[in-house]
C-alpha cells in the first residue's frame, strides 16, 4: 500500500505534521506514533467538554490514548460522508452528513430521527443539546432498552405496587427517563430475601413457646434484662464478697462519705456518677430486693424489668436469689438463637404479612418479563447513545487533534489550547498561559525543567464552592513585585472571576532586559537585608543596654567609669581604617580624574556590561529553551515532543499595561525633591569634584618633582622635555 503523503510545518520551533483536511483525519492511523505531539492526556481538567472525552475513553481509565484517538477517527470517517466537515467544529450535525451507504450510518440516522421525534422536534439536523438530555429523550417512553422498569412501564396496578416496594427496600436505580426503577438483579434478590425472611418468621412461630417465653413482650423483656444484666451481676458479686468477709461490707457498699463528696453539687446533673454506685444496698444474704431501695439512677430501668419479667416470675416474693435470676436469663436462650439466625433483614420493614402476601401473589416472573421486554430495545438505545457520541465528536474531535497530534491551537493567536484555563491579571499585566494544577507537589518538582517563570496561585470564587490552583506563566514585565502572598484576579474561560493569591513562585528569566538588571537587583536586595539586619541587631543591643542601665540605676549600682585609654585605642583604630579607605578612594579618583567625560561613560558602561553579561547569557540560553512539556507532564499528560515558548512567541502570552504619554507637571501629587536633599546632593557633588581636582593636582605635582629628581640623579634624561598634562586644571610650579 502506498504511503500517505503527509505535510509538515514548523510550529513553535518544532517540526510537526499538519492535520488540515479530511484526508489527514482519514489516514490518521497511518501516522508514525513518534510524530505525535502527545501520547495521552487526562479526561478531566481540560477546557473541552468532559463528556466528549469520557465517550472516547473506551477503557474507562481516565486517560485518552493514541489508539483511542485513532479508533474515534476511523469511526467518524465510516459513519460520516465527509470528514472534512469536522474541521468546522460545529455543534449541529446536518442529516445529509450521515453516511447512509454504511449500515451503522443508516442506523445512526434513524436513531437521530427517533430522538427528535421523542423530543417533539421536526428538523433536518441534530445538535449536542438534543442528544445530551437523555431524560428528556426517554421521558415519554415506557421502554428504553436499559433493562430498568419503573411504575410507569406498566398499566398493571399489582406490578406497579411490587416495583414500588422493591424501590422502597433497595433504593432502586435511575432509569434513562430519570425515574427510579428496578432491574432483574434487584428483582431476583428481593424475592430471595422475601422467602428467607418469611421462613425465619415461620420457624419462630413453629416453636413459639420456647422462642417467645413472654409472648409478644419477649423482645421488650429481653431488652429490659440486657439493660440491667451487668449491674445485677455486679450486685450479686458484691454480696458474695461481703458474705465471704463481713468486714468488707462497708467498703463494697456505698458510704455516706462518698455521697458527701457530691452533696455540694446539683445532684440532678450527677446521674453518671450515681449510676456507678451499687444497684442495691449490699447484703451478705445475697438476695436481690424486689420491693424498693434501688439506686435512683436505675429506678426506671428496674421498674421496667420488674413489670415485664420479675412480677410474673416471682409474684408475691420480696427478693430473689442469684440462681433464680440466672434461670430467668436462661429462658431467653431459644429466643437469642432464633434472633441470631435472622434472615431477609432487608425486607423486614415490609412486615411478615406483606412478605407472605407478595410470595403468595408471586409476580416475580411477570416483572422479569417486563424487564426482558425493555431489554429488547437495547440495540436501539445504544444507537441513541452512539448518536450522542457522534454529535460530541463532530463538534470537538478536531479541537482535540489540534491539541493532541499537533499543538496548532496553542500557537494560533485566534484560539486557546484545551489546557489554557483563562487569564490572570496581576501587577499591571495579563498572563494568558494559565493551566489548572492537579498536583502542586508534582508540579513544583517537574516544572523547574521548563525554564519558565511561573506564579502558582490558589483561586477561590463566590460562583463555586471549590478551590482551584493554577500555574500562570509570566513572559513579560518586571518581577520586582511578584512574590508569595500577592493578590490578583483570575478569569476562567467562562468569564467568571476568581480571587487569586500567589502561593509559590518558580523564578526564571523573563527577558534579556530583566536579566541585565538582575545582578543589581539582587545586590540591592542583599544590601537592604544586610542593613535591616544590622539596624535590627543594633536596636536590640541598644534596648538591652538601656534596660541594664535602668535596672542598675534602680538598684543603686555605681555607674561605670569612663575608660580614656580604651576610648583612645578605639579612636586610633577607626582613624587608621578611615585613612586607608580614603587613600584607596583618592587613588581611584586620581586615575579617573585624568579621563575626559566620554571615557567615564565608556568605562561605566563596560563595567556594567562585564557584570551583567553572564546573567544575560544564561537568560538567553534559558529563554531559548523554554518548554511547556514539563508543566503538562506534571498534570498527567504524556507529551511526546517539545512545546517551545521562545522569545517571540512568549511575548504574545503576556500583555503589559500601556498608558498614554502625559505631562508629569499635571500631577498635583507628584513626588517633589525637598530643598534640603537638593542642597545635600550639590554639596556632595562639589566635594567629589574638589577631591578629584585636589588629588589629581597632588599626584601630578608629585610626578613633576619626581622627574626633576631623576634628572639630577641621571644626566642621560636631560633631553626629556616636560609637558604639562592637559587634563590637569591646576599646574604645579617648579
| pLDDT tens track for 75-97 | 999 999 999 999 999 999 999 99
Q: 490-513 pLDDT, tens per residue?
A: 999 999 999 999 999 998 888 767
User: For residues 279 and 306, is the Cβ–Cβ distance under 8 A?
Assistant: no
Structural domain harbouring 651: 420-543+578-659
39 pLDDT tier (thresholds 50, 70, 90): very high
Q: Report which secondary-structure segment, H or E, holds 342.
A: none
Q: What is the pLDDT of residue 37?
A: 94
Q: What is the pLDDT of residue 541?
A: 76
pLDDT-above-90 percentage for the chain: 44
* 96 and 161, same domain (yes or no): no
* 538 and 601, same domain (yes or no): yes
Residue 670 lies in a domain: no
Residue 728 lies in a domain: yes
Give how far the C-alpha of residue 169 lies from the chain's centroid of Cα atoms, to the nearest Å.
38
Residue 590 lies in a domain: yes
* 358 and 432, same domain (yes or no): no
* 15 and 53, same domain (yes or no): yes
User: For residues 403 and 38, is the Cβ–Cβ distance under 8 A?
Assistant: yes
pLDDT-above-70 percentage for the chain: 79
Q: Report which secondary-structure segment, H or E, holds 473.
A: strand 464-474
Q: What is the count of structural domains for the chain?
A: 5
Q: Which residue has the higher pLDDT, 407 or 13?
A: 407
Q: 297-306 pLDDT, tens per residue?
A: 898 999 999 8
Q: What is the pLDDT of residue 725?
A: 45
- Assess whether pLDDT exceeds 50 at residue 732: no
* 246 and 268, same domain (yes or no): yes
329 pLDDT tier (thresholds 50, 70, 90): very high
DSSP three-state, residue 572? helix
Q: How far apart are CA 57 and CA 442, in angstroms?
A: 24
How many CA atoms lie within 13 Å of 436's alpha carbon, on the beta-carbon side? 20
Cell numbers for 345 = 433483614
**What does the DSSP assignment read for 159-171?**
HHHHHHHHHHHH-
Q: 680-722 pLDDT, tens per residue?
A: 777 877 776 666 555 555 544 544 454 455 555 555 544 545 4
Q: What is the pLDDT of residue 164?
A: 93
Residue 671 lies in a domain: no
* 90 and 107, same domain (yes or no): yes
* 596 and 448, same domain (yes or no): yes
Mean pLDDT of 620-643: 87
DSSP three-state, residue 622? helix
Q: How far apart are CA 407 and CA 18, in angstroms?
A: 10
Q: How far apart are CA 481 and CA 525, in angstroms?
A: 13
727 pLDDT tier (thresholds 50, 70, 90): very low
What's the longest Cα–Cα distance across the chain? 153
- Assess whether pLDDT exceeds 70 at residue 644: yes
Nearest CA to 507 among 455, 471, 459?
A: 455
For 477-551, list the strands marked E by DSSP.
Answer: 487-492, 497-506
* 594 and 621, same domain (yes or no): yes
* pTM for the structure as a whole: 0.64
Q: How far apart are CA 237 and CA 229, in angstroms?
A: 13
* 269 and 135, same domain (yes or no): no
Q: 592-621 pLDDT, tens per residue?
A: 555 555 665 676 677 767 776 776 777 676
331, 359, 394: which is the final residue of a domain?
A: 331
Instruction: Give the single-character DSSP code of 377.
Output: T
Count other Cβ atoms within 10 Å, centred on residue 569: 11
Residue 337 lies in a domain: no
Mean pLDDT of 465-486: 90
665 pLDDT tier (thresholds 50, 70, 90): low
DSSP three-state, residue 177? coil
| Summary mean pLDDT of the chain | 83
Per DSSP, what are the bridge partners of residue 182? 149
Instruction: Give the single-character DSSP code of 665.
Output: G
- Assess whether pLDDT exceeds 90 at residue 729: no
Mean pLDDT of 553-559: 58
User: For residues 433 and 470, is the Cβ–Cβ distance under 8 A?
Assistant: no
Residue 101 lies in a domain: yes
Mean pLDDT of 537-541: 73
* 13 and 107, same domain (yes or no): yes
Per DSSP, what are the bridge partners of residue 98? 80
Q: 562-571 pLDDT, tens per residue?
A: 556 555 666 5
* 222 and 164, same domain (yes or no): no
Residue 314 lies in a domain: yes
- Assess whether pLDDT exceeds 50 at residue 100: yes
598, 628, 659: which is the final residue of a domain?
A: 659
Residue 156 lies in a domain: yes
Q: How far apart are CA 728 and CA 680, in angstroms?
A: 27
264-268, 423-427, 476-480, 499-503, range with the lowest pLDDT: 264-268
> Per-residue b/e over 711-725, b at no fewer than 16 CB within 10 Å?
eeeeeeeeeeeeeee
Angle at which helix 364-375 crosses helix 184-206, to 10 degrees, equals 170
Q: What is the pLDDT of residue 730?
A: 39
Q: Which residue has the higher pLDDT, 211 or 662?
A: 211
* 490 and 615, same domain (yes or no): yes
137-141, 276-280, 450-454, range with the lowest pLDDT: 137-141
Report how many helices (DSSP H) and strands (DSSP E) the chain contains, helices first: 28, 18
- Name the burial class of residue 404, with classes exposed (0-12), middle (13-18) and buried (19+) by CB atoms within 10 angstroms of its CB: buried
CA distance readout (Å), 116 to 96, 112, 144, 490, 522: 16, 6, 15, 40, 67
Q: What is the pLDDT of residue 409?
A: 93
- Assess whether pLDDT exceeds 70 at residue 556: no
Amino acid at each position: 500500500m502506498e504511503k500517505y503523503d503527509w505535510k509538515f510545518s514548523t510550529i513553535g520551533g518544532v517540526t510537526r505534521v499538519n492535520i488540515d483536511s479530511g484526508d489527514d483525519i482519514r489516514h490518521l492511523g497511518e501516522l508514525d506514533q513518534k510524530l505525535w505531539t502527545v501520547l495521552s492526556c487526562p479526561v478531566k481538567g481540560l477546557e473541552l467538554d468532559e463528556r466528549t472525552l469520557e465517550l472516547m475513553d473506551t477503557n474507562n481509565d481516565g486517560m485518552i490514548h493514541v489508539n483511542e484517538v485513532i479508533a474515534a477517527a476511523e469511526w467518524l470517517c465510516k459513519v460520516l460522508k465527509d470528514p472534512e466537515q469536522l474541521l468546522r467544529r460545529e455543534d449541529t450535525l446536518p442529516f445529509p452528513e450521515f453516511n447512509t451507504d454504511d449500515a451503522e450510518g443508516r442506523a445512526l440516522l434513524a436513531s437521530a430521527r427517533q430522538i427528535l421525534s421523542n423530543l417533539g422536534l421536526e428538523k433536518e439536523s441534530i445538535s449536542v443539546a438534543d442528544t445530551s438530555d437523555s431524560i428528556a429523550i426517554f421521558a415519554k417512553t415506557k421502554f428504553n432498552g436499559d433493562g430498568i422498569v419503573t411504575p410507569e412501564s406498566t398499566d398493571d396496578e399489582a406490578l406497579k405496587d411490587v416495583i414500588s416496594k422493591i424501590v422502597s427496600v433497595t433504593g432502586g436505580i435511575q432509569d434513562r427517563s430519570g425515574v427510579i426503577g428496578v432491574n432483574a438483579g434487584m428483582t431476583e434478590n428481593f424475592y430471595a430475601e422475601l422467602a428467607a425472611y418469611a421462613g425465619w418468621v415461620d420457624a419462630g412461630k413453629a416453636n413459639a413457646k420456647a422462642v417467645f417465653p413472654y409472648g409478644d413482650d419477649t423482645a421488650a423483656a429481653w431488652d429490659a434484662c440486657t439493660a440491667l444484666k451487668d449491674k445485677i451481676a455486679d450486685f450479686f458479686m458484691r454480696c458474695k464478697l461481703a458474705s465471704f468477709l463481713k468486714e468488707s461490707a462497708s467498703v463494697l457498699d456505698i458510704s455516706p462519705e462518698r455521697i458527701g463528696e457530691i452533696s455540694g453539687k446539683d445532684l440532678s446533673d450527677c446521674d453518671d456518677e450515681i449510676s456507678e454506685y451499687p444497684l442495691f444496698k449490699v447484703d451478705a444474704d445475697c438476695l436481690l430486693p424486689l420491693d424498693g431501695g434501688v439506686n435512683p439512677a436505675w429506678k426506671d430501668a428496674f421498674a421496667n424489668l420488674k413489670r415485664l419479667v420479675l412480677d410474673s416470675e416471682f409474684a408475691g416474693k420480696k427478693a430473689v436469689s442469684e440462681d433464680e435470676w440466672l434461670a430467668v436469663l436462661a429462658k431467653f436462650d431459644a429466643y437469642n438463637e432464633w434472633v441470631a439466625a435472622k434472615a431477609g433483614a432487608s425486607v423486614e420493614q415490609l412486615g411478615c404479612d406483606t412478605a407472605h402476601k407478595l410470595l403468595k401473589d408471586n409476580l416475580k416472573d411477570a416483572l422479569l418479563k417486563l424487564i426482558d421486554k425493555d431489554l429488547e430495545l437495547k440495540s436501539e438505545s445504544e444507537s441513541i447513545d452512539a448518536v450522542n457520541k457522534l454529535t460530541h465528536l463532530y463538534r470537538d474531535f478536531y479541537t482535540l487533534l489540534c491539541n493532541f497530534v499537533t499543538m496548532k491551537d496553542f500557537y494560533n493567536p485566534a484560539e486557546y489550547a484545551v489546557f489554557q484555563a483563562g487569564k490572570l491579571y496581576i501587577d499591571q499585566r495579563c498572563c494568558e498561559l494559565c493551566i489548572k494544577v492537579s498536583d502542586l507537589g508534582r508540579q513544583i518538582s517537574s516544572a523547574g525543567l521548563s525554564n519558565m517563570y511561573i506564579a502558582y496561585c490558589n483561586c477561590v470564587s463566590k460562583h463555586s464552592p471549590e478551590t482551584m490552583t493554577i500555574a500562570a506563566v509570566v513572559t513579560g514585565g518586571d518581577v520586582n513585585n511578584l512574590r508569595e502572598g500577592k493578590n490578583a484576579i483570575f478569569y476562567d474561560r467562562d468569564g467568571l472571576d476568581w480571587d487569586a493569591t500567589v502561593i509559590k513562585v518558580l523564578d526564571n528569566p523573563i527577558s534579556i532586559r530583566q536579566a541585565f538588571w538582575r545582578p543589581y537587583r539582587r545586590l540591592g536586595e542583599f544590601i537592604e537585608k544586610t542593613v535591616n539586619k544590622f539596624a535590627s541587631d543594633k536596636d536590640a543591643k541598644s534596648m538591652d543596654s538601656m534596660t541594664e542601665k535602668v535596672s542598675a540605676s534602680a538598684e543603686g549600682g555605681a555607674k561605670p567609669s569612663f575608660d580614656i585609654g580604651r576610648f583612645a585605642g578605639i579612636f586610633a583604630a577607626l582613624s587608621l581604617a578611615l585613612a586607608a579607605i580614603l587613600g584607596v578612594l583618592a587613588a581611584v579618583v586620581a586615575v579617573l580624574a585624568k579621563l575626559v567625560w566620554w571615557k567615564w561613560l565608556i568605562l561605566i558602561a563596560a563595567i556594567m556590561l562585564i557584570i551583567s553579561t553572564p546573567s544575560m547569557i544564561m537568560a538567553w540560553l534559558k529563554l531559548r529553551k523554554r518548554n511547556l512539556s514539563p508543566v503538562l507532564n506534571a498534570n498527567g499528560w504524556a507529551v511526546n515532543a517539545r512545546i517551545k515558548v521562545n522569545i517571540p512567541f512568549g511575548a504574545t502570552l503576556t500583555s503589559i499595561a500601556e498608558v498614554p504619554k502625559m505631562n508629569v507637571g499635571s500631577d498635583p501629587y507628584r513626588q517633589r525633591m525637598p530643598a534640603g536633599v537638593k542642597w545635600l546632593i550639590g554639596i556632595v557633588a562639589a566635594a567629589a569634584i574638589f577631591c578629584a581636582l585636589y588629588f589629581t593636582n597632588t599626584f601630578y605635582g608629585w610626578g613633576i618633582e619626581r622627574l626633576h629628581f631623576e634628572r639630577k640623579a641621571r644626566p642621560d634624561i636631560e633631553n626629556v622635555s616636560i609637558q604639562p598634562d592637559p587634563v590637569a586644571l591646576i599646574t604645579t610650579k617648579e
